[in-house]
Amino acid sequence: MATPDMLVNALTTMLVTLDPPGLAPVFLGLTVGMTALQRRQVAFRGSLIAFGILAVFALFGSSVLGLLGISIGAFRIAGGLLLFWISFEMVFEKRQERKEKTSQAAITIDHIHNIAVFPLALPLIAGPGAISATVLLSGTLPGVVDRALLIGVIALIMLVVYATLLVAERLDRFLGVTGRAILTRLLGVILAALSVQFVVDGVRSAFNL
């Protein structure tokens, strides 16, 4: 049976790994051109999908990746490469160029759903770090009740993430076009460094360096 200390440790680990405040400005850069309602839809759907992904890993742990023959190291490398592509587009405004070629009406329900799935839910929220932490925590909480408590912890963290993304929407009103451009490029550089770190950690893990 999980002790209060173990649950607090799980809560702290997931909170630090997911880093909700760090997700907020990245969320702004990913949803440029969307209305407040569309941002809320992306935030809600992304948080819900990320919860589902982490809940699966909480229930089945490392057996999921093992069944597919995928190591955590390989997953880190793949996630890092995907994040690097997103960061490249943020720095060089490739995403904005594509938006300028289409009207605002082109932001369809399908587009909103796609953004919510990738890159918000995966790999930004339920990324290699969060999945790794979930798998490790599930290993220390093997019981059925313990796993249920871990899922409860994940649900609580997802509520915090969702609330943080809603605050990011208010912050966007104060940034303006220039502020968003500066923030997007700055975060693109940070995201690029983060993605490279994911790849480096993945290589070390995969090759036991």
Any residues with CB less than 8 A from the CB of 119 and at least 6 apart, and which?
30, 82, 83, 86
0.85 cut: is pTM over it?
A: no
* Helical axes 20-30 vs 36-60, angle rounded to 10°: 130
pLDDT digits (tens, 9 = 90+) for 140-189: 777 788 889 999 999 999 999 999 899 887 766 776 667 767 877 887 78
Min mean pLDDT across 92-96, 155-159, 171-175, 195-199 is at 92-96
